[in-house]
Structure 1
Amino acid sequence: MNQNIDTKALNAIRVLAADAIEEAKSGHPGMPLGSAAAAYEMWAHHMKHNPKNPLWVNRDRFILSAGHGSILLYSLLHLFGYGLTVEDLKKFRQKGSLTPGHPEYGHTMGVEATTGPLGAGMGMAVGMAIAEAHLASVFNKTDYPVFDHYTYVLGGDGCMMEGISSEAFSLAGTLGLHKLIVLYDSNNISIEGSTEIAFTEDVLMRMKAYGFQVISVEDGNDIEEIGQAIAKAKQDKTKPSFIKINTQIGYGCPQKQGKASAHGEPLGTENVTALKNNLGWDSLEPFYIPDEVYKHYQLLTVKGREQEADWNQLFVEYCSRYPNMKEKWHKYHDKDIEKELLENELFSNFDIRPESTRNLSGSIINRIKNLLPGFIGGSADLAPSNKTYMEMAGDFSKLNYKGRNLHFGVRELSMAAIGNGIALHGGLRPFVSTFFVFSDYLKPMARLSAMMKLPITYVFTHDSIGVGEDGPTHQPVEQLAMLRAIPNLNVFRPADAKETAAAWYQSIISKTTPSAIVLTRQKLQQLEETGKEAINGAYVLQDSIKEIPDAILIASGSEVAIAVEAKKDLVSKGVDVRVVSMPCMEIFEQQDLEYRESVIPQSVRKRVVIEALSDFGWGRYVGLDGAYVTMKGFGACASGEELFEKYKITVDNVVKTVIELF
């Protein structure tokens, strides 16, 4: 069969995908086969990227939201020369390989985001587009567009069914993010069969209603039509673009194309052979790619190298002409501010009056924003309650991309995904916020934050039954245990101003771990003994008179003050106790054994944990001989003070619980 080089090049993607999945005896061939033409046209003729420098700051970003089609991305990375070898493709989905079943950020060069949960990539793409728009508004000068790139995201029917896409795209349209281009691989097939059984909406009308420019490509194998659609998308300077590309799942495999069976299982040896014959491939040898195809891909990368070289020259001239912007650039990209934070007013100048930790956090946020110009974030329509609004920082909007206050609307799940996208883009330090009980809505994206090692900050307020009259639907009980169960997530529940400052300090200096800062609605007293030691995760707040205490009280947040008061009563009864404040288990566990033993010695087995939430997860500190003053069920509608009495999160009950241990 006589084929032009573009056809051979895109068929190379299909062949590699089929062979890698067959070798692994596992994978999802349908999407890579169906969307190969769209991916090839985008990467070959429209995306600005340089495989020799995958981290070039002004590269176009590409996210494969349909992460199950990961072999499509790996084939592209191999063919374009990002460092993935044929051997890497042969190890697809195998232990220790660079080609895991779903793309993993930080594991494989060229992968811009970890995508597994469908639709997550759509939300992260919106975050990247927000980051580009903000940084362009801050740094760009006439004739010096140092930030000028697009964000592309490719997903399928599943991504469009997930609610996170609706949340994210509704916001993207509102913000007019015209550098965002969404490619929708529309093949009308999901795992259970035709999408007709559960997904019949007019997707283009839906996206138009969100404020997108909508474009339809009738033939998903026509790279000229696809190219025209992408070019049209770039012409609109007021709206994000959504390109619906009609494809056939499993395209090229006679027995599988158009069928649900093409989605999530290997084609089988005979069908791989039939695919290659049907495509007119030169050889049936697994992983065979003609030299002319490799040479073609090498030629395609020349443009990207030239684009980066031009940008590098532009940036040199920019820094020379605008030395103040060069200095600003370094401030945005300098991640080592630990000393400056420690020496700053971050830990001082707090009023001694009782105050909620949400209010204290709000004050600290406004201090941090002056130290970190790339500090950006907001709330899911709760900034007045979460106290996350940055004064004099402006509101990010379609009319003002310079604003640093993000308004996410009531969209917790996409808010967290967008925060991830901002962090992935680079140059900015994002935070997001909502009521603590609604952390349930965003947990899957917080999990991805931890997996991708993104130092994003989650600000959660209204942290316990202390919320009061809103009742059990708004009173978190199990949420702290949920977050503490996520690997590589630091969860802070500070007791007062100094501990809140310590939580923010640890969050800002973190380079590879996200943080959740959990804050009160009710006012708390400022404790004299708290301080910078809180950065260790736990510390002795008030010690026993004896070298070895009779018992240890361990508390976090609002209950630390209860432990302090209980100690006074216990001393009067002849029980000499130590009070330990533990604002962050995870940070405490990172301390050396000597320090941990100095705070909670193993020899003291009488320990009581006090926390107005579930006791789940406290077992390793309480031990077999300890006890809990915690919640055992959901809350109720009453004032916070009444609820603490109702559920016996009280000084009297702590004292009673300690006495009963003897």
Structure 2
Amino acid sequence: MTVNGHSSFTDVDRKAVNTIRVLGADTVRKANSGHPGAPIGCAPMAHVLFTKYLKANPTNSHWLNRDRFILSNGHGSALQYVMLHLLGYKMSIDDLKSFRQMGSNTPGHPEVHLTDGVEVTTGPLGQGISMGVGLAAAERHLAATFNKPDFPVVDNNVFVMIGDGCFQEGVACEAASLAGHLKLGNLIVLYDANNIQIDGEIDLTFTEDVNARHESYGWHTQTVEDGDSDLDGIAKAIEAAIAVKDKPSLITIRTTIGYGSQNQGTEKVHGVPLEPKDIAEMKKKFGFDPEKHFHVEEDVYELYAAVRAKGVQAEKEWNALYSKFAEAYPAEAAEFERRLIKKELPKDFEKLLPVYDPSGPQVATRVASLDCLNALTPVFPELFGGSADLTGSNSTGYKGKTEFQPDGNKYGNYAGRYVRFGVREHGMAAFSNGVAAYGGIIPFNATYLNFITYAAGAIRLSALSRHQVLYITTHDSIAVGEDGRTHQASENIPWLRALPNLYLFRPADGNETAGSYAQALKFREGPSVFAFSKQNLPRLSGTSADKVAFGAYILSDVPKPDVVLVATGSEVSLIVETAKLLASEGIQARVVSAPCLELFAKQSLDYQRSVLGEGIPVVSAEAAGTFGWQKWAHVSHGVDWFGASSPYELIFKKFGLVPDVHAQRVKKAIEFYKIRPVPALIYDAQELLGKVVFDD
């Protein structure tokens, strides 16, 4: 957006600011729930930003070249909803009256997919600003990929509004450090410095110089001393920030929380609705009728209608520019449309994935993962990501990669696709959510499975927000070996499986690794986590990339099985050998590989029974905690402890995950059920009890 200076603000602008304040107060009061202080205090900066500088078209909230706005302090959601209403998004006065109610599009914290005009789901503090870094990086990468001289088809800024709490979360520190390194001059953060948190004044816990910290990260910083009424000062600061192209910008704006309330400037207006009498007095102070609720005067609506008209015109101008771009560069335009408009995957990409012959040498699934990346990245220009300082260990350094770095950096440029995240797992995951939210890119990131717990908050938002993020994790079990318990993630697989709308893939060999990539890339509505082995694994006879789509399948069978053995990942080879031992004693075992239980859960009950059987004991094996296996197995053999430090072969023996010990446990299970009925496993309660729809 070209900024030619700002005009003086009028009385109508000031009336609009106060309208935002009282609408926010009315919205929270009607719900009898919420946070009124921040919406009231942030009204001036919101008005200036949205009316003067934020380029968007409220009549088409998905216009590709719009500026992005993120309310990182998502508890102040009433502010965003009020602004969306005034600007003419799909947000009515009745929607404001339904704030925080069942079925409304005005939930307690902003959620993408629920509310027109909301870019990302915020609420957990620190996540919004961190996703903002990802959005800004995505814009820089796509601009470097598609823009041509005189055709800046990707050209927008990312604006973030943030409070004290976000700056105190470690994820924001990680992301801000990365943003400074990447010189993301298209990222502009407006800091609501109101000196108040729920517990009271922030100097109880937070006395650092926020600007100085960000300057040390490589940010451009400014301060507006009077954020309550100095609209010109706010405007000048935003203009100055937009003009800085080689650094992200932080504008500290000192405000009074709950400005105009009888308890302004205190924690009493943070998370509790204002009393009706207080709201009435506030309205009187601002020149409004205290008897009118959810009222907007016509001249305020007219002011925002003019802003909306500018947004419509901006999109028309971009459409004309894009048409000329498509005429001049048809190949680039076709790729742009595939990725950002049609959102299509490259055709027949599965055919490019590697196939592994069972007669070949053993290979770790992390190495097979690199084979898949090497096959996919040449035809998947939208694959964009890297590792948390573990490129070699995670096997993500695919052939021919170019580093994503600031233009002019000796290591790479913005057109590069390989991101060096450094040791920043939480920031890496939140960054990836922002990249996914921008569109046209499928982000991946990587770390050890144990350290994905650092990113747990962002992974949950990946699933909740339906962001297609590929989480590559390696060193997936006690087979980490000598590094010991601190690095052995026995509990992470169960908790990842507990997250809704997330696929966890734990492939047994190279073929299942290829199938896992195929299914993860096809899953456009949520994240996938790959759990890959550090150690080499046998190439198994009968594994199938195609059958990964079923989640679990019969690897080898017998006419009348006495037992069903099911496993994932490295333990599939364990149950293959266990079945051989049992067969030598006349015990017949069906062997089932289950690379993705979430996909298996989506299959019909008939298919699930055809794989795991009925009236037959099912015994599972996995080098992880057994929690959750009760749905799929009668007896579960796993690691309900923290591992040990030694060569991994000895650790597997210690925990009994070796064929001879596992065979003895299987025989005990068979004996147990010889004199007892084998209970039916209700694999899919939805099919039995009726489907409960959990949608937005």
TM bucket normalised to smaller: over 0.9
1:619 matched to 2:618: no
2:100 to 86, 93, 103: 93
Distance 2:482 2:359 in 1: 28
- Contact persistence 2:337–2:343 (CA under 8 A): no
1:558 matched to 2:570: yes
Distance 1:649 1:251 in 2: 64
Distance 1:91 1:335 in 2: 33
2:329 to 316, 322, 332: 322
* 1:197 aligned partner: 204
Deviation per CA, 1:389-413, whole angstroms, max 9, x where unpaired? 2321200011300110001110000
Q: Measure how far apart 1:342 and its partner are.
A: 3.1
Percent identity, aligned pairs only, is 44
- Contact persistence 1:86–1:287 (CA under 8 A): yes
2:620 to 593, 609, 620: 609
One-letter amino acid of the counterpart of residue 596, structure 1: Q
Q: Which runs of 5+ in 2 are unaligned?
A: 1-8, 408-412, 672-696
Q: Measure how far apart 1:170 and its partner are.
A: 0.4
Look up the SS of the partner of 1:460 in the other structure: strand
- Contact persistence 2:352–2:375 (CA under 8 A): no
1:382 matched to 2:382: no
* 2:585 aligned partner: 573
Look up the SS of the partner of 1:181 in the other structure: strand
Distance 1:613 1:57 in 2: 43
Distance 1:39 1:523 in 2: 55
Q: Measure how far apart 1:632 and its partner are.
A: 2.5
* 2:611 aligned partner: 599
- Contact persistence 1:332–1:373 (CA under 8 A): no
- Contact persistence 1:93–1:99 (CA under 8 A): yes
Distance 1:639 1:375 in 2: 35
Q: Measure how far apart 1:351 and its partner are.
A: 8.0
Look up the SS of the partner of 2:614 in the other structure: coil
Q: Measure how far apart 1:439 and its partner are.
A: 1.0
2:646 to 626, 638, 647: 638
2:77 to 70, 88, 98: 70
TM-score, normalised on structure 1? Answer: 0.97
Q: Measure how far apart 1:142 and its partner are.
A: 1.0
Distance 1:250 1:640 in 2: 59
Q: Which runs of 5+ in 1 are unaligned?
A: none
Deviation per CA, 1:462-506, whole angstroms, max 9, x where unpaired? 000000000000011100011001111100100000100111111
* 2:401 aligned partner: 393
- Contact persistence 2:41–2:259 (CA under 8 A): yes
The 1:348–1:323 alpha-carbon spacing in structure 2 relative to 1, beyond 3 Å, is farther
- Contact persistence 1:562–1:651 (CA under 8 A): yes
Distance 1:317 1:351 in 2: 55
2:132 to 105, 122, 125: 125
Distance 1:545 1:91 in 2: 60
One-letter amino acid of the counterpart of residue 293, structure 1: V
Between 219-228 and 466-475, the greater mean CA deviation after superposition: 219-228
Look up the SS of the partner of 2:221 in the other structure: strand
Q: Measure how far apart 1:323 and its partner are.
A: 1.2
- Contact persistence 2:353–2:514 (CA under 8 A): no
Distance 1:345 1:100 in 2: 42
Look up the SS of the partner of 2:637 in the other structure: strand
Distance 2:346 2:382 in 1: 15
One-letter amino acid of the counterpart of residue 575, structure 1: I
* 2:661 aligned partner: 653
* 1:409 aligned partner: 422
The 1:99–1:347 alpha-carbon spacing in structure 2 relative to 1, beyond 3 Å, is farther
One-letter amino acid of the counterpart of residue 541, structure 1: L
* 1:449 aligned partner: 462
- Contact persistence 2:564–2:590 (CA under 8 A): yes
The 1:336–1:324 alpha-carbon spacing in structure 2 relative to 1, beyond 3 Å, is closer
Distance 1:351 1:213 in 2: 59
Matches within 5 A, 1:189-588: 189-221=196-228, 222-253=230-261, 255-333=262-340, 334-337=342-345, 340-347=348-355, 352-399=360-407, 400-531=413-544, 532-546=546-560, 549-588=561-600
The 1:351–1:49 alpha-carbon spacing in structure 2 relative to 1, beyond 3 Å, is farther
- Contact persistence 1:481–1:614 (CA under 8 A): yes
Distance 1:181 1:346 in 2: 43
Look up the SS of the partner of 1:406 in the other structure: strand
1:46 matched to 2:53: yes
Distance 2:70 2:492 in 1: 30
Distance 2:398 2:75 in 1: 39
2:24 to 1, 11, 17: 17
Distance 2:338 2:117 in 1: 26
* 2:686 aligned partner: none
The 1:349–1:59 alpha-carbon spacing in structure 2 relative to 1, beyond 3 Å, is farther
- Contact persistence 2:557–2:591 (CA under 8 A): yes
Distance 2:51 2:331 in 1: 37
TM-score, normalised on structure 2? Answer: 0.92
Distance 1:520 1:340 in 2: 27
One-letter amino acid of the counterpart of residue 666, structure 2: V
Look up the SS of the partner of 1:517 in the other structure: strand
* 1:5 aligned partner: 12
Distance 1:117 1:638 in 2: 39
* 1:56 aligned partner: 63
- Contact persistence 2:343–2:440 (CA under 8 A): no
One-letter amino acid of the counterpart of residue 295, structure 2: Y
Q: Measure how far apart 1:301 and its partner are.
A: 1.1
